Amino acid sequence: MTQENALSTVPLMQILTGFWASKTLAAAHELDLFTRLSGSPGINDAELAGALEIHERPAEMLLTGCAALGLLEKRDGRYHNSPLAEEFLVRGKPYYFGGMVQMFDKRLYPAWDKLTEAIRTNQPTAWDPETKESLFGSEDALMQALFWEAMHSLSIFTARVLGEVVDFRSFQRLLDVGGGSGAFGIELCRRYHHLTATVYDLPFVAEVAAKKVQEAGLYDRIETVGGDFFSDPSLPGGHDVILLSLILHDWSEEKGIEILRKCYEALPRSGAIIISELMVNDEKTGPAPAALMSLNMLIDTEGRSYTSAEYINWLGKVGFRDMRTVSFEAAGANGAVLGYKP
């Protein structure tokens, strides 16, 4: 083996140190660094140490680390938020992403520490299946709030991209099944002014969505309905398009087909279904975000990341036709599978 093509351990080190970056971001967020710097003249090592009542050594290290990650910029000896941090990591900003940061750090990071256990047992580690029926049952109120705030942050930007690559102009009324905080309904109704929507989710989640819809000023176009797509005999009717965004990856194939069957029954003829997901390729060799999300489903749910071919097969089993896949890149998904009720 020549020196030019010799293998290196650099790729392994890049994988192993991946958590260093996420924990640096999480620590800075927990210390409110980005909110503190917003609108300020910047800060130096000594000032941060004084403000946080910590030693100057870790203050310097934290600032340097955040600058190296592109979260801070240094000008004239003082650190300022980068545009990325200012837009998404300052509390109170419209597209605040801090809920996702905190949820990953406090909920998922400890569960991933037990990944080997999940692989050996085929059981989630993010919650206890002995005491809870599923991830979506009642849990600590703070963690529950973090989860839905995080999902809202993630879904907003995914919804924007979906609205760009899928034309909703021919649809009139959207049913967002498992719609969470209502981010997809909000963003799609903002883009398509003729569109109205219903967000359908568990009753306590529908309450979260109602607040987000109210804040968005879209209460006259978006309805929220509490329910359970497993126990309810049918889904809300009167819609010509149904969206399932990041829903089917939570469940087994059997339960996924059950959900799709109810969607089929709720749609009129020529009605459409849209499955928006982070999908692995048909060869199951990647891409990395989807493959790692699949492992995240192992520690968190009973599902996994499926392929577009698998979703198309499920849709065909329940009666949908004219299926196609649209690929895109977004924060929470990399494609959508569409099908129509004949």
Q: What CATH number corresponds to the domain at position 322?
A: 3.40.50.150
Q: Are residues 215 and 247 in the same domain?
A: yes
- Are residues 49 and 173 located together in one domain of the fold? no
- CA dist 267 and 272 (Å) reads 7
Report the pLDDT value the prediction gives residue 134, as an integer from 0 to 100.
Answer: 60
Q: Rounded to an integer, what distance in angstroms lies between the CA atom of residue 200 and that of residue 186?
A: 13
| 56 and 138 inside one domain | no
Is residue 4, in this structure, part of any structural domain at all? no
Q: Which two tokens stand for residue 19?
A: 């958590």
- Per-residue DSSP letters for 71-118? SEEEETTEEEE-HHHHHHSSTTSTT--HHHHHHIIIIIHHHHTTHHHH
Residues 110 and 241 in one domain: yes
Residue 38 and residue 181 in one domain: no
| 196 and 111 co-located in one domain | yes
Tokens read off for 304: 């996994």
The reply to whether 295 falls in a domain is yes
pLDDT for res 312: 98
Instruction: Identify residue 113 by its one-letter amino acid code.
Output: D
Q: Residue 81's domain is classified under what CATH number?
A: 1.10.10.10
β partners of residue 226: 201
Please give the positions annotated as active site: 249
pLDDT, block means (10 residues), the chain with 342 residues: 75 96 98 97 98 98 98 97 97 89 92 97 89 61 71 89 97 97 96 98 94 96 97 97 97 98 98 98 97 96 97 98 97 96 98
From the CA atom positions of the chain, what is the Rg in Å?
Answer: 22
Please tell me whether residues 68 and 155 are part of one structural domain. Answer: no
Residue 30 forms part of a structural domain = yes
- Residue 5 falls within a domain, yes or no? no
Residue 2, in any domain of the structure: no
**Same domain, residue pair 301 and 195:** yes
Only one residue has tokens 């799609």, namely 188
Cα–Cα distance, 156 to 159 (Å, whole number)? 5
* Whether 226 and 254 share a structural domain: yes
- 93 belongs to a structural domain: no
Report the helix count and the strand count for the chain, using DSSP H and E: 15, 9
Q: Is the domain of 143 the same as that of 257?
A: yes
Query: What is the domain range of residue 163?
Result: 102-340
Q: Note whether 191 and 313 are same-domain residues.
A: yes
The answer to whether residues 79 and 138 belong to one domain is no
Neighbour-count burial of 60, counting CB atoms closer than 10 A to its CB (0-12 exposed, 13-18 middle, 19+ buried)? middle
Q: For the whole model, what pTM was predicted?
A: 0.91
Q: Is residue 139 within 8 Å of residue 132, measured between CB atoms? A: yes
pLDDT at 233: 96
How many domains does the structure of the chain reveal?
2
